[in-house]
Amino acid sequence: MDMIIMFIRFLLSLFLVLVISTGAFAKPIKFIVNDPSGRDHVSFTSDAPIELIVGRTNKIKGEVIIDDSLDLKKLPPKVSFEVDLASIDTGISLRNEHMRDNFLETKKYPKTIFVVTKIAPLSKLQDGKTINLTGKGDFTVHGITVQKDIPVQVTYYKESDFTHNKFEHGDVIRVKSTFEIPLDEHKIKRPEVIMQKLAEKVIVTIDTYANAKE
């Protein structure tokens, strides 16, 4: 009987170790990117030999899920973003139409999506402190998905009078990033007649806020 009891205790101990190691007690908190006031910013810059094109949109959505201790090591962060490409405005309506119909083909491929699969380094967020991270994941544009490493600046703000200037309640994470998209990598064609007007690589800049939701 004693052997049976000891064996049962051993199994229970083993179970607890496995449960703890798999993060079963982790408490996730979700931050949402979806500002109805349009204060988030995404820009696309093409600096070609004879023309500089800058397209802008605030139609970005996303979510960031982390442990409520703010320690990224305790729970692998889950991060995803999507941008409505049809909403990009270059300042000229005819150019917008050409960008949507001839290059991005937004009726067929309306969004660009980035799903993060790994973040490094894993550290702890602190109020008002900015940390530099690299997000590795699946980046989709024009129906083509590639693995991409994107540099990111992340700043966490605990709910305060400062955050209330942007959001009614909840903690806030600010996410900033600048990176390049090679057009040929996503099979975005540049007809010969406009090659001097559209760069081979487009520079993307993101500045967005994620608000904690209960």
Helix ranges restricted to H, the chain: 2-21, 93-98, 161-164
Q: How far is CA 39 from CA 43, 165, 203, in A?
A: 13, 12, 20
Helix ranges restricted to H, 107-158: none
Question: What's the chain's Rg over C-alpha atoms?
Answer: 22
Per the structure, how many domains does the chain have?
1
140 within domain boundaries = yes
8 within domain boundaries = no
66 within domain boundaries = yes
Q: Burial of 168 by CB count in 10 Å (0-12 exposed, 13-18 middle, 19+ buried)?
A: exposed
12 within domain boundaries = no
CATH code for the domain of 58: 2.40.128.110
pTM of the entire predicted model: 0.83
Q: Which domain holds residue 207?
A: 26-213
158 within domain boundaries = yes
pLDDT (tens digit, 0 to 9) for every residue of the chain, 214 residues total? 555 555 455 445 544 444 444 445 568 999 999 988 888 999 999 999 889 999 999 999 999 999 999 999 999 899 999 999 999 999 999 999 988 998 899 999 999 999 999 999 999 999 999 999 999 999 999 999 999 999 999 999 999 988 888 888 899 999 999 999 999 999 998 766 566 788 999 999 999 999 997 6
43 within domain boundaries = yes
82 within domain boundaries = yes
Q: What are phi and psi of 51, to 5 degrees?
A: -155, 135
173's enclosing H/E stretch is strand 172-182
155 within domain boundaries = yes
Name the token pair of 196. 């001097």
